Amino acid sequence: MWEYTDKVQEHFTNPKNVGEIKNASGTGNVGSIACGDALRLTIQVDENDIITDAKFKTFGCASAIASSSMLTEMLKGMKLEDAKNLTNDDIAQALGGLPKEKMHCSVMGREALEAAIADYTGVMLPMAQGEVVCECFGVTDLEIIRAIKENSLASVEEITNFTKAGGGCGKCEGRLAALLVESTDKQSSPATAQKKKKRMTALEKIKKIEEVIEREIKPTLKKDDGDIQLIDVDGDFVTVSLRGTCAGCYSSQTTLKEYVEKKLREQVLDTLIVEEDK
Amino acid sequence: MAFSLDTVIYMDNNATTRIAPEVLDAMMPYLSDYYGNPSSMHTFGGQVGEAVTQARQSVADLLGADPGEIVFTSCGTESDSTAIFSALRTYPEKNHVVTTRVEHPAVKNLCDNLETLTGRKYHISRLPVAEDGTLDIERYKECLTDETAIVSVMWANNETGVLFPVEEMAKIAKERGILFHTDAVQAVGKIPINLKDSTIDMLSLSGHKLHAPKGIGVLYVRKGTPFVPFLNGGHQEKGRRGGTENVASIIGLGKACELAAAMMDEENTRVRALRDKLEKGLLSSVPKAILNGHPEKRLPNTANISFEYVEGEAILLMMNQHNICASSGSACTSGSLEPSHVLRAMGVPFTAAHGSIRFSLSVYNTEEEVDFILEKMPPIIARLRELSPFWEED
């Protein structure tokens, strides 16, 4: 069970400013139902660039709801310029702190605010232009680098706590560790990080696996009157079915592991595990 | 906020159960006066050994087993590890393990990490489940090979309560000469089990799921099953598990098994009726509420319901304000940022997986408690949906 402060409990039990402003000056939508939390923030800005009203709708846990509620309370009456400088830490502090695993809830509040301001000013968000590092939660390198710098993050676990990156399949952990080193090294900048080789997306991976099977593996198996078909790719697990003489062959396991898996590891990703669908 | 036993409505019995008062009474003398070691030669220790023998008999009776087939362990996880490692060490030439995608982490994570743990590569077949959480027997049959060292399939799923046809599956494994293990931690005490009529080779159970204390488990090992111990040491448990017996807990488990046998009918009639009332009530009074798991092929005590467009941890905390205890398969409660692997394997959409709540009852629950939950849940869900950006009133 999480240890929530009284403030968090209070804003969860009796959240303030729930709803949507009709004809809002700016709307920020962040997160998704797949991620497990999402926030729609609407703000009303007057002619003097003061936020006169803010409302939220949040799908998520207690700390996500409390962070959203607190954010809207802080925003009301705030100058737009000041709002631009609001950080996730400001939200967390106002709540008397959040459990470290829940810091991403405050980050979500800040991102929604930025999105709402960008919607109002028409200036595109720089963070969204980064390269996606965590596919599970769609977190970009720029978002991660900023979280590292602003919150002095020192481990991959902390990055996950603040941005959720790495909290799904965990395959981006290596990349996160690299970003950590790059960001804490004063010499480097986000620009150099971007030059690094792009990570394969799930789609690219499947395509590549298909390609290798079609181009190399199938022809080889066919020489022995065998055949192979790709059934499914789930993370690192590649399910294939062996056909023809391969199917009943006593050495099919050897074929699978020694040949198919080896080939795919060499040419696609060295963590792949090939399994047979029988 | 401290909860006392009088005010709490405990519907989280698949997580752990209350120690039955009769169990505690049976244990107490062995935590005070009778502290002897069952292995000692003197009567002072020997009388403790007799009590352990009696408890072993009670456990065996509940399972329809022979007392010699009961090995006491420290928990369900130890039993699972012992069973699987024993099979792998018995058949070092075999490199294939069959399990399912919905196992408890005690088996799932063990299988996922076998290569690291053993230094050997294993081929793991993880059987998929249908939308209602059930297994496809044909697919299972096709999966078995001459390389298969062990099949490990849970009897009842901890999250949905869905039952797997493990007796039938064990029979099929037997015909192929393959060892069959079942993690029956959620099944024992809730449904009748008679191992004499089955060919299951090994079965795990955990004391604290059936009103015995935490820290005591059992691995049933059928007579004649090849066995390699997990913990080596003294001659306890006939050399199958070294370590001085956790005497008081063993006595407690024995008593708990006697009680479970006596209350088996009640569990499958009164408790089932309470569960059904709760489930039907919630499904009819809350819009967009979905039952997870097969409606019939299920434990009598478990109801797993998804409330679409709201998040499980928030629901649980609101329930908590009314002293209602349950659990959720949402990401925020799983500690992994992703929702339950069981619900995902069943293909439950994200809109529903994050908002799943598991109610698991026991013989200590009452109709008043069910009525109280039925009164409190609809406004909780309605309130959270008001907050949700995905909820649109039809």
Same fold, A6-121 and A202-276: no
CB contact under 8 A, B125 and A275: yes
Which residues 68-127 on chain B approach chain A with CB closer than 8 angstroms? 95-96, 121, 123-125
Give the homologous superfamily in CATH for domain A202-276. Answer: Fe-S cluster assembly (FSCA) (3.30.300.130)
Query: CA-CA distance, B230 to A112, in Å (whole number)?
Result: 52
- Out of B205, B228, B262, a domain closes at B262
CB contact under 8 A, B386 and A18: yes
B327-328/B356-360 β-pairing: antiparallel
Low-confidence winner among A141-155, B29-43, B258-272 (lowest mean pLDDT):
A141-155
Q: Is A116 on the interface with B (CB under 8 A)?
A: no
Question: What's the token pair of residue A141?
Answer: 């390198």
Q: Decide if B8 is inside a domain.
A: no
User: What are the backbone dihedrals phi and psi of residue B150, each rounded to the nearest 5 degrees, phi first?
Assistant: -155, 150
Q: Which residue has the higher pLDDT, B350 or B30?
A: B30
Q: Decide if B392 is inside a domain.
A: no
Q: Which residues does chain A have within 8 Å of residue B121's beta carbon, measured at their own beta carbons?
A: 257
CA angle B252/B258/B261 to nearest 5° reads: 140
- Out of B262, B285, B301, a domain closes at B262
pLDDT given at position A195 = 39
Give the count of domains, chain B. Answer: 2
Q: Name the catalytic one among A35, A134, A172, A246.
A: A35
Residues B302 and B231 in one domain: no
The Cβ of residue B196 has, within 10 Å, a number of other Cβ atoms equal to 10
**Would you place residue A241 in the very low, low, confident or very high pLDDT band (cuts 50, 70, 90)?**
confident
Residues B220 and B311 in one domain: no
pLDDT in tens, B241-269: 999 999 999 999 999 999 999 999 999 99
Tell whether the model's pLDDT for residue B333 goes beyond 80: no
Residues B379 and B289 in one domain: yes
**Would you place residue A190 in the very low, low, confident or very high pLDDT band (cuts 50, 70, 90)?**
very low
Tell whether the model's pLDDT for residue A231 goes beyond 80: yes
**Would you place residue B332 in the very low, low, confident or very high pLDDT band (cuts 50, 70, 90)?**
low
Q: Which residue has the higher pLDDT, B394 or A152?
A: A152
Q: Is B167 on the interface with A (CB under 8 A)?
A: no
Nearest CA in chain A to B348: A34
Evaluate the CA torsion angle B114, A155, A4, A55 in order and state its sign.
negative
**Would you place residue A197 in the very low, low, confident or very high pLDDT band (cuts 50, 70, 90)?**
very low
Residues B251 and B324 in one domain: no
Q: Of A33, A168, A275, which has the smallest distance from its Cβ to B350's Cβ?
A: A33
Tell whether the model's pLDDT for residue A188 goes beyond 50: no
Tell whether the model's pLDDT for residue A194 goes beyond 50: no
Residues B132 and B204 in one domain: yes
Low-confidence winner among A129-133, B15-19, B117-121, B309-313 (lowest mean pLDDT):
A129-133
Q: Decide if B7 is inside a domain.
A: no
CA-based nearest distance B247→chain A, Å: 31
pLDDT given at position A201 = 78
Residues B270 and B213 in one domain: no
Q: Of A58, A167, A257, which has the smallest distance from its Cβ to B387's Cβ?
A: A58
CATH code of the domain containing B61: 3.40.640.10
Residues B208 and B293 in one domain: no
Percentage of residues in chain B having pLDDT higher than 90: 93
Tell whether the model's pLDDT for residue A127 goes beyond 80: no
- Out of B212, B240, B262, a domain closes at B262
pLDDT given at position A187 = 43
**Would you place residue A193 in the very low, low, confident or very high pLDDT band (cuts 50, 70, 90)?**
very low
Q: Decide if B12 is inside a domain.
A: no
* Whole-number average pLDDT of chain A: 85
Query: CA-CA distance, B330 to B340, in Å (whole number)?
Result: 6
Q: Is A29 on the interface with B (CB under 8 A)?
A: yes
pLDDT in tens, B361-381: 999 999 999 999 999 999 999
Residues B132 and B49 in one domain: yes
Task: Please give the helix or strand (H or E) that residue B291 lies within, else none.
Answer: strand B289-291
User: What are the backbone dihedrals phi and psi of residue B64, each rounded to the nearest 5 degrees, phi first?
Assistant: 65, 45
Q: Which residues does chain A have within 8 Å of residue B389's beta carbon, measured at their own beta carbons?
A: 29, 38-40, 57-59
Nearest CA in chain A to B339: A36
Nearest CA in chain A to B335: A101
Question: What's the token pair of residue A194?
Answer: 């971007």
Residue pair A274/A258 in contact by the 8 Å Cβ criterion? no
- pLDDT, mean of residues B113-127: 94
User: What are the backbone dihedrals phi and psi of residue B254, each rounded to the nearest 5 degrees, phi first?
Assistant: -60, -45
Query: CA-CA distance, A155 to A143, in Å (whole number)?
Result: 15
- pLDDT, mean of residues A202-229: 83
Low-confidence winner among A79-93, B90-104, B328-342 (lowest mean pLDDT):
B328-342
CATH class assigned to A6-121? alpha beta
Residues B163 and B272 in one domain: no
pLDDT given at position A90 = 94
pLDDT given at position B296 = 96
CATH code of the domain containing B323: 3.90.1150.10
3-state secondary structure of B284: helix
Q: Decide if B320 is inside a domain.
A: yes
First to last CA, chain A: 42
Give the burial string for A143-170 (b: 16+ CB within 10 Å, else e): bbbbbbeebebeebebbbbbbbbbbbeb
**Would you place residue A247 in the very low, low, confident or very high pLDDT band (cuts 50, 70, 90)?**
low
CB contact under 8 A, A13 and B387: no
Give the homologous superfamily in CATH for domain A127-195. Answer: BFD-like [2Fe-2S]-binding domain (1.10.10.1100)
Low-confidence winner among A137-141, A190-194, A259-263, B300-304 (lowest mean pLDDT):
A190-194
Q: Is A36 on the interface with B (CB under 8 A)?
A: yes
Nearest to A145 by CA among A192, A99, A95: A192
Q: Decide if B14 is inside a domain.
A: no
- pLDDT, mean of residues A237-254: 72
Q: Decide if B131 is inside a domain.
A: yes
Residues B179 and B55 in one domain: yes
Nearest CA in chain B to A258: B121
Residues B135 and B80 in one domain: yes
Residues B50 and B174 in one domain: yes
pLDDT given at position A120 = 94
Domain that holds residue B362: 264-387
pLDDT given at position B119 = 92
pTM: predicted TM-score of the whole model, two decimal places: 0.81
Q: Decide if B4 is inside a domain.
A: no
Query: CA-CA distance, B268 to B260, in Å (whole number)?
Result: 11
Tell whether the model's pLDDT for residue A54 goes beyond 50: yes
3-state secondary structure of A239: strand
One-letter-per-residue 3-state SS of B261-278? HHCHHHHHHHHHHHHHHH
Query: CA-CA distance, B251 to B36, in Å (whole number)?
Result: 14
* Whole-number average pLDDT of chain B: 95
Tell whether the model's pLDDT for residue A251 goes beyond 90: no
Query: CA-CA distance, A259 to A256, in Å (whole number)?
Result: 6
The domain limits of chain A are 6-121, 127-195, 202-276
- pLDDT, mean of residues B23-31: 98
